[in-house]
Amino acid sequence: MGQRKPIMAANWKMHKTIQDIKVFFESFLQLVEGVDDREIVIAPSFIGLSDACRMTVGSKVQIAAQNMYFQEQGAYTGEISPTMLKSAGVDLVILGHSERRHIFGEDDSLIARKVRSAADHGMAAILCIGETLEEREAGLTEQVLSSQLLLGLALLESGHFASISIAYEPVWAIGTGRTASPEQIQDAHGFVRGTVENMAGEAVAQQIRILYGGSVKPGNVREIMSLEDVDGALVGGASLEPESFARIVKYE
Ligand code: PGA
């Protein structure tokens, strides 16, 4: 894994009220005190972002948004802008999650504009990519990953790559309890790094962090994190309980 500092990220999706978030941090912050060889990221829903930022002031925990729109303001009912996120203290955003793509119909060109907007606003972004089960079974995994990367990162200039991470999340492993095998994960991550190298050069490819997501749990995180091209985890279900996510963060 070289010099890449691991990112252990929680994606809470549409879970937790503001009260629930408070209860979580009351125990979680103590559980991860002293951890400084890895980055800890938590992505609550929009409604919890400001409070989560306040509750984690002075800690190592970074708060991320689960999505944003690419415009700064305007007639976009229901959307949240990068400037709004920054005003809440958030400078990291997850983009292109498979639930955004598959439930809410986001396509690569929209995601690309969001990725560029994050860079333009000095925000770090985690771009999520991943194949469906049908695509994997049809032998299309690499084709899907390369097209999601090429299109999703298409609007970036070379200086922007430093603030981008990639999350490889096979759609069939998300929330299903079915984790991809170590071989499948390493193959995909190696392929992603190679694709980034073709796009942006070797130095960028060596520093970019590639997270795995899809049924990561305390019991499998260690094996997954030991893989050469895995630089972090994006965790849904197993991040909701403080003890569970703390065990994931503190994997040995
Ligand atoms: P999961 O979700 O850990 O519940 O599979 C991961 C994700 O969607 O980011």
Q: What is the pLDDT of residues 113-170, one digit of tens each?
A: 999 999 999 999 999 999 999 999 999 999 999 999 999 999 999 999 999 999 999 9
Classify residue 194: in a domain, yes or no: yes
Indicate the pLDDT class of residue 99, thresholds 50, 70 and 90: very high
Classify residue 2: in a domain, yes or no: no
Classify residue 1: in a domain, yes or no: no
Give the integer Cα–Cα distance in Å for 82 and 149: 22
Give me the catalytic one of 39, 106, 135, 169.
169
Ligand 1 neighbour 11 (Cβ under 6 A): yes
Classify residue 134: in a domain, yes or no: yes
Classify residue 65: in a domain, yes or no: yes
**Conformational region of residue 58, where left means phi above 0, alpha means psi within -120 to 50, and beta covers everything else:** left
Note the pLDDT of residue 1: 44
Q: What is the pLDDT of residues 14-73, one digit of tens each?
A: 999 999 999 999 999 999 999 999 999 999 999 999 999 999 999 999 999 999 999 999
Classify residue 81: in a domain, yes or no: yes
Active site residue 169: yes
Note the pLDDT of residue 195: 98
Classify residue 31: in a domain, yes or no: yes
Give the integer Cα–Cα distance in Å for 224 and 62: 22
Cβ atoms < 10 Å from Cβ of 199: 17
Could you tell which of 176, 210, 215 is best to mutate to test the pocket of ligand 1, judged by most ligand atoms within 8 Å of the CB?
215
Tally of domains within the chain:
1
Active site residue 97: yes
Q: What is the pLDDT of residues 188-243, one digit of tens each?
A: 999 999 999 999 999 999 999 999 999 999 999 999 999 999 999 999 999 999 99
Ligand 1 neighbour 175 (Cβ under 6 A): yes
CATH number at residue 229: 3.20.20.70
Classify residue 226: in a domain, yes or no: yes
Give the integer Cα–Cα distance in Å for 246 and 236: 13
CA angle 83, 158, 195 (to 5 degrees): 110
Q: Which helix (H) or strand (E) element contains residue 192?
A: helix 182-200
Quote the domain boundaries for residue 96: 7-249
DSSP letter at 116 equals: H
